[in-house]
A and B are shown apart, each in its own frame.
Chain A
Amino acid sequence: MKTHTIPMLAIATMLSMVSSAFAFGAAPAPPSNVVAVDAPDDAGEAIILSWALSPNDIFGTLESDTQATDPDLVVSVYYIERRTDSAAGNGSISEEDQGWQQISESAAGEVTTTDRKVQRGWSYSYRVCAVDIQKETSSWAATEEPVRPIMQPFNMSKAWLAIFMLMFGGLIAYFINVARSGKKLWVRPIAGLAAIDEAVGRATEMGRPVLFVTGIQDINEIQTLAGLTVLSRVAKTAAEYGAQIEVPTCRSLVMAAARETVESAYLAAGRPDSYQPDRIHYLTDEQFAFVAGVTGYMVREEPAACIYMGGFYAESLILAETGNHIGAIQVAGTAMPSQLPFFVAACDYTLIGEEFFAASAYLSDDPLQIGSLKGQDYGKFISVLILVIGICFATFASMSGSDENVWGASKNFIKDNMLGSAGLLPTGSGDTDIEGDDS
């Protein structure tokens, strides 16, 4: 038994060595079914190439009947080459491009790539080969016919975006038209804005100034701009009533903009002589130095109305509490969620987020702005409605335990088509998102 065992091992070792020596010179099997198509919904600037994986690609489908792939033949990468067959118009093809040129590589397991370096109207052929870990290349698998990228007039993957845009735009146009026709559009009363006249009136009766703070952010912030819109209205009312308005600012550019705003408002009210630019002044860029300056003014002068409109941080409660202490009517408006509770608790009226941004339309009574506001509100309502319906479908689908029913299909339709980019209607095929592959 001993004498038989040793030769058996030696034979096996030798066979193995022979087998390895034979595999060293072998190449992996090529990929198959190479197809190139024009990328849909684009301007003729891309071609999508797809292929079936090489049998030596370990990411391919396992077939139990076939022999396991030789480890040395495992595909590590696919080489993709392109040849330009014809040009469009007066274009000419360079000599290099007339032959096969490697344009990219795809990792093992990849079955598609998008060539974005093509020219509209030109025709191209592609070929793909598999490369194993030994850098041995398979034979080439080429496309059967050249493909020509062309421009599609509509990007159907964005069809729902277009529908929503038309719908919202139509709503806005409709409401602007309605407002212009003289019909009074109802806008939810915002107590804070309605109270501005009251606050300025109080200041007038008490013979004290109106304090307006535009926040501590710079002029490039949207909240500061919204605050300046409200300032325009406050200044106009103050001019009409003959009240004094005081505007300390935290940024020099805001001071310049505030001065322009207040001057225009006084002019519009027919009281340009009452405009006092010195009352709109810059204090400091430093947050708490600014707050100290403003609160000091509040305690000394006791303004009858304090209006805070803009972006505020930790200073919100310091300002509002000081204003409350001196007995002023206070109106605040900010889109800073963390500061809203402080303003609500300490001020008489507070504009919350969207209300603050809608203020300009609300205050101007301009049909264009009111119609636009109304249209946007309907747009938001429709968006929220779609989200709520989607949540319901998702919940029902989850409860049913499968996406293969009407709830799941509806949920996917909303998610992929309406809110995603899967086109107008469900296609029934898998993922068609070409954005994810930028090879």
Chain B
Amino acid sequence: MTIDLENINVILATDCGSTTTKAILIEKVDGTYRQTYRGEAPTTVEKPFANVTIGVTNSVTEVGELASRQLTNEDGTIKQPAKDGDGCDLYISTSSAGGGLQMMVAGVIAEMTAASAKRAALGAGAIVMDVISSNDKRRPHEQIQRIRELRPDMILISGGTDGGTTEKVVQLAELIAPAKPQPRFGSEYEMPIIYAGNKDASDEVQKSLEEDWIDLAVVENLRPKLEQENLGPARDKIHDVFLEHVMAHAPGYNMLMDWTDADIMPTPGAVGDILQTIAKKDGINVVGVDIGGATTDVFSVFDETFNRTVSANLGMSYSISNVCAEATMPNVLRWVHFDMDERQLRNRVKNKMIRPTTIPQSLESLIFEQAVAREALRLAYKQHKEFATTLKGVQQQRTVGDTFSQQSSGNTIVDNMKLNLLVASGGVLSHAPSMNQTAMMLVDAFEPEGCTNLAKDSIFMMPHLGVLSAVHPEAASQVFERDCLIYLGTCIAAKGAGRIGKPCFTWSLTGDVTASGTSNFGDLDLIAMGPEQTGTITCEPAKGFDLGAGNGKKVTHEVRGGTVGLIIDGRGRPLGLPTDRQECQQTISQWVENMKLYEEMEQAVCTA
């Protein structure tokens, strides 16, 4: 379908989540695209409605009422095109309803082709249920049993370089046929299997998977050479199959697909797309996080390489117990600056787990929840770093100078010093009572180094903009910059360690705000700098500290303000907290005070 981009003035976008369907309206105001109204309604993919379009119509109706614009026809369909103040020119949608896209992937070696297959699946917005490989230490019967137990929406098979192993790839295919995995959407559903492995093995793989319940698609090898990763064709195919098979079998999606002007995308895939678009356009490195109740998604774009991880057991409600178990209670407790024993903490965890939809009702509960969030984010980011690596199995080029410093392949590409923008979304971050709290959770968990802009997705608009970026990149970019992100401010942090109270770096700020000072090790300061204000900061780190130019070298950064301001972080990296509980409490209290985290709330409590 050809879309005339010049004549698009009103864009309607929906995101069908598991519980809520969110709709936004984007309008051209004074020649610029702006997000104007937002509405939401419960998702209706489950029984008794069993039709996703009902929820879509409800959310769109709400937006229409707010905008005084009729966006739906009498039969509930989307009114197009925009005419006489009603309808819209473009309608797009994403979906993660019904658990999103669930996939199983397989590859010959877990760290090579299987890892690439996992990256392709995650990048396309899927949840990877399991990774089967020749070296996963499971016997063939165990692998078959596992495949049988899983109920994936589709399977991605990779393995072998072009001209490489055929035997191992065919063995993988031969595991799937006898396992006969049952799809989630009934017995009529043909299991889509995408083969993206050694091209020489495709005939034999096809022969092995000649079953009437299998719909096999063959695409280009995602590792044609071990030195090269080619994820594009596999990702595109996953997207196509998602639409043709998964969406077609989900209740009401056939109708929704007819309404939309662009393909429906899995929500995380759309978020990844918008982050890639922005990173490419501005030439920056971006990390995005979406922390939910059960899972935490981390997205990163470093040097135009996109990676996404889903930490399935790190979340703020259903998975909160797991966060506490993985992080350990003392680690959670270290972020709490008042007396709270472990027993009290455990009670709060269990309460949150059995009542996942509750929100904190007291200051203590809020502080506790934010402490857990810091640990969940920290762990999710750690997992992301371990996954987002350079390719393994690649030949190295050496010189004699490498004798004592032989770096291995598979190192993480995530470098906090190169990070330019850190974007937060998800309940605990987006709905924190104060933006300062959101900023501090990000800084404490991600430990950005050098100069990093902090932002949050105001109303979780990134999925909508992700789809929009595929259709109308200019509109997506304009809305992203003006309405999607709320800039919290900039964090200036030095890498290194020192003694408490000793100078960490000196700084001097010029521009809309003028200030200067010395940040001692352990200090955390906040400089007021509004959202529209910008400046230039010159920092001179002490010996042993690095702000991006090297150890002890002077550096200059352009900074922008935000709702929080400029954070001068002299706590060093990696961030260390005192091991003594009393000392730790005092330290955190000082930081809380300096960052004015709970000031207003404490005053409100006192007044009440």
Binding site for B on A (CB under 8 A): 191-192, 194-195, 197-199, 201-202, 204-208, 240-242, 327-329, 340-341, 344-350, 352
Contact = CB atoms under 8 A, between A and B. Distances in A.
Q: In terms of DSSP, what is the predominant structure of the interface of chain B?
A: loop
B86 interface: no
A346 B409 CA distance: 17
B410 A198 contact: yes
Given A204-B168, A205-B109, A205-B159, A198 B403 contact: no
Given A204-B108, A207-B166, A329 B395 contact: yes
Interface string B158-183: 01110111111000000000000000
Interface residues of B, number: 34
A201 B395 contact: no
Nearest to A202: B393
Nearest to B159: A205
Contacts of A349: 396, 406, 408
Contacts of A328: 395
A59 to B, nearest CB: 55
A201 B165 contact: no
B453 to A, nearest CB: 35
Interface of B: 108-109, 111-113, 134-135, 137, 159-161, 163-168, 223, 226, 392-393, 395-396, 398-400, 402-404, 406-410
Given A198-B409, A205-B168, A350-B403, 13 more contacts: A202-B226, A204-B108, A204-B168, A205-B109, A205-B164, A205-B165, A205-B226, A206-B165, A207-B160, A207-B166, A329-B396, A344-B398, A352-B404
21 contacts: A191-B406, A191-B408, A195-B408, A198-B111, A198-B408, A199-B393, A201-B109, A201-B135, A204-B134, A204-B165, A206-B163, A207-B167, A241-B109, A242-B168, A328-B395, A329-B395, A344-B402, A345-B398, A349-B406, A350-B403, A352-B403
Contacts, number: 93
Contact of B113 (A192, A198, A205, A340): A205
Given A198-B111, A201-B109, A242 B408 contact: no
Given A201-B111, A206-B161, A207-B167, A327 B398 contact: no
A105 B554 CA distance: 80
Contacts of B398: 344-348
B204 to A, nearest CB: 13
B133 to A, nearest CB: 10
A29 to B, nearest CB: 68
A37 B168 CA distance: 81
The 8 closest A-B pairs by CB, nearest first: A207-B165, A202-B393, A201-B109, A348-B396, A191-B408, A206-B164, A191-B406, A207-B164
A347 B403 CA distance: 11
A205 B393 CA distance: 9
Q: Which one of B113, B161, B408 has the greatest number of beta carbons of chain A within 10 Å?
A: B408
Nearest to A340: B403
Most A CB contacts (10 A, CB to CB) among B113, B396, B407 go to B396
Nearest to A199: B393
B395 to A, nearest CB: 6
A328 B226 CA distance: 11
Contacts of B135: 201, 204, 240-241
A242 B134 contact: yes
Given A202-B112, A205-B113, A327 B395 contact: yes
A191 B407 contact: yes
Nearest to A348: B396
Nearest to B171: A242
A201 B393 contact: yes
Contacts of A197: 111
A344 B403 contact: yes
Contacts of B109: 201, 204-205, 241
A187 B392 CA distance: 22
Contacts of A199: 393
Contacts of A240: 135, 137
Contacts of B399: 344-345
Contacts of B400: 341, 344-345
A191 to B, nearest CB: 4
A438 to B, nearest CB: 46
Nearest to A351: B406
B396 to A, nearest CB: 4
A205 B392 contact: no
Nearest to B395: A329
Contacts of B112: 201-202, 205
A320 to B, nearest CB: 10
Nearest to B399: A345
Contacts of A346: 398
Nearest to B165: A207
B137 to A, nearest CB: 8
A1 to B, nearest CB: 92
Nearest to A341: B400
Contacts of B393: 198-199, 201-202, 205, 329
Which has the most chain B C-beta neighbours within 10 Å: A240, A328, A348? A348
Contacts of A201: 109, 111-112, 135, 392-393
User: Which has the most chain B C-beta neighbours within 10 Å: A194, A201, A242, A348?
Assistant: A201
Given A327-B395, A348-B396, A205 B410 contact: no
Contacts of B396: 329, 348-349
